């Protein structure tokens, strides 16, 4: 059951080793030199970390939800590795992308990224502009979580952590402004918005609760969080914005007004790295279905370099523009799209995880992922403008119910 670090494959800097799989040996007891003080020999520190697959043998639900998440890919996603190579800044980025590397350097398990033993040993979360404001209590077999009435068992002991119900736990990494440049600001976005007063931290939306067993053989309980981080159905982006489309005859010109409202997100949209965009596309087709006109706008925080050219954050020096939509905020623009004639208006709102400027700096093999957030269609059948179309997403969660569950034993 206990495997020495020497028995695990070393982490190579040239390529990311494979993530540990279910059934791998679970506890790595890694000797780590620490300063013994007084100029004497360094003492050996034991570091206890587990593969996520081993945790999943008891916590199968949580493992299955975490495995396809961005946290699971934090250390080895193609975008991260390519950006890291271009930036050449491993120590800074790895503090949050490979947090266990500081505790057990050379251990294969650290390549699991933001794994079970990161969040469930995380203590003293302190969001700040410097980022990575936390410590990992991996020198003991205590696993921390929000429930304070669970009994210890043979595999690990239970630690009570009020912080696991607080936004600060997430903000410890999701707040980072190196040299004053706003790169990650989800925590301060949330703090400045309406949700703190509603007792709705990040977890209320990103880890919605349901009735489930905490572990194999445990009783079914209320308030068990989902560990996929994008909602129970992975659809938080599609639930973030409400879309409204209006068409008008402006002296013979077709005027299409698009309005986006941030109705559900507790932070600005788009969130995350400045290289993300929400792209609004408007297309007009004639009565035969042929495209007649089109236009698009990209919303996001645009960072620029010293010359004023758009640049990825690791090459940028300042903010050039910021058109993100804050919590409860609205964005509106009117597009002039040719003559007001019979036809069809199509509007699509798409989330892109990389701008073209950032993608150009990365290998061509790095895929730019796009996800449709909202769509709407209006028919122009005569001289009278059609009624507006409103696409309102359902609420992300019943926050009062989620609050009750977070307080449940």
If DSSP codes are grouped into helix, strand and coil, which group holds residue 127?
Answer: coil
Q: What average pLDDT does the segment 116-143 reach?
A: 96
pLDDT beyond 70 at 1? no
At residue 228 the predicted structure's pLDDT band, cuts being 50, 70 and 90, is: very high
Q: What is the predicted pLDDT for the residue at 44?
A: 60
**In the predicted structure, residue 257 carries a pLDDT above the cut 80:** yes
CA dist 274 and 302 (Å) reads: 7
How many angstroms separate the CA atoms of 69 and 11, rounded? 22
Whole-number pLDDT of residue 330: 97
Question: What's the topology of domain 241-391?
Answer: Immunoglobulin-like (2.60.40)
Contact 222, 209 (CB under 8 A): yes
Structure-token pair, residue 369: 């992922």
Domain locations along the chain: 2-176, 241-391
Q: Which residues pair with 334 in a beta bridge?
A: 257
How far apart CA 45 and CA 31 sit, in angstroms, is: 5
Give the tens place of pLDDT for each residue, 145-160: 999 999 898 889 999 9
40 has a pLDDT exceeding 80: no
Residue with the larger pLDDT of the pair 20 and 221: 221
Burial of 103 (0-12, 13-18, 19+ CB in 10 A): buried
* Helix, strand and coil percent figures for the chain, each rounded to 5: 20, 30, 45
Can you tell me the mean pLDDT for 166-188?
96
Measured between alpha carbons, how far is 268 from 292 in angstroms, rounded to an integer?
33
Q: How confident is the model at residue 396 (pLDDT cuts 50, 70, 90)?
A: low
**If DSSP codes are grouped into helix, strand and coil, which group holds residue 193?**
coil
Tokens of 40: 């004497």
The torsion region of residue 383 among left (phi > 0), alpha (psi -120 to 50) and beta comes to alpha
Query: What's the mean pLDDT when you consider all of the chain?
Result: 86
Sort residue 237 into left (φ over 0), alpha (ψ -120 to 50) or beta.
Answer: alpha
* Residue 19: its H or E element: none
How confident is the model at residue 241, as a pLDDT? Answer: 96
Please tell me the pTM assigned to this model.
Answer: 0.84
> What are the CB-based long-range contacts (under 8 Å, 24+) for 130-135?
130/176, 130/178, 131/95, 131/96, 131/172, 131/173, 131/175, 131/176, 131/177, 131/178, 131/184, 132/95, 132/96, 132/99, 132/172, 132/173, 132/176, 133/172, 133/175, 134/172, 134/173
Angle formed at CA 71 by CA 68 and CA 76, multiple of 5 degrees: 85
């Amino acid at each position: 059951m206990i495997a020495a670090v020497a028995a695990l494959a070393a982490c190579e800097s040239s390529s990311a080793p494979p993530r540990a799989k279910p059934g791998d040996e679970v506890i790595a007891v890694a000797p780590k030199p620490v300063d013994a003080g007084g100029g004497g020999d360094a003492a050996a520190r034991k570091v206890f970390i587990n593969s996520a697959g081993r945790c999943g043998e008891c916590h199968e639900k949580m493992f299955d939800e975490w495995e396809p998440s961005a946290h699971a890919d934090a250390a080895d996603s193609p975008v991260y590795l390519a950006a890291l190579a271009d930036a050449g800044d491993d120590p800074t980025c790895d503090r949050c992308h490979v947090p266990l590397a500081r505790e057990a350097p050379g251990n294969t398990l650290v390549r699991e990224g933001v794994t079970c033993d990161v969040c469930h040993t995380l203590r003293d979360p302190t969001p700040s502009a410097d980022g990575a404001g936390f410590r990992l209590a991996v020198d003991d077999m205590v696993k921390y979580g929000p429930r304070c009435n669970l009994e210890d068992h043979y595999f690990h002991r239970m630690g009570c952590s009020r912080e696991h119900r607080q936004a600060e736990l997430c903000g410890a990494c999701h707040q980072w402004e190196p040299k004053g440049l706003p790169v990650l600001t989800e925590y301060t976005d949330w703090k400045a918005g309406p949700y703190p007063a509603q007792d709705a931290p990040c977890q209320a939306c990103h880890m919605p609760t349901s009735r489930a067993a905490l572990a194999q053989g445990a009783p079914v309980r209320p308030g068990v969080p989902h560990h996929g981080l994008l909602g129970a159905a992975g659809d938080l982006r599609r639930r973030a914005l409400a879309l409204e489309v209006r068409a008008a005859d402006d002296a013979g010109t077709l005027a299409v007004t698009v309005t986006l409202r941030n109705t559900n997100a507790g932070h600005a949209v788009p969130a995350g790295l400045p290289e993300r965009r929400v792209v609004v596309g408007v297309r007009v087709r004639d009565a035969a279905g042929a495209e007649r006109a089109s236009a698009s706008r990209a919303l996001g925080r645009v960072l620029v370099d010293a010359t004023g050219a758009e640049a990825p954050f690791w090459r940028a020096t300042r903010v050039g523009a910021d058109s993100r939509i804050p919590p409860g905020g609205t964005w509106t623009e009117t597009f002039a799209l040719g003559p007001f004639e019979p036809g069809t208006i199509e509007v699509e709102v798409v989330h892109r995880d990389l701008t073209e400027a950032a993608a150009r700096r990365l290998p061509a093999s790095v895929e730019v992922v796009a996800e449709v957030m909202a769509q709407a269609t209006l028919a122009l059948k005569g001289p009278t403008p059609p009624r507006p179309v409103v696409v309102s997403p359902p609420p992300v969660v019943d926050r009062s119910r989620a609050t009750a569950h977070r307080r449940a034993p």
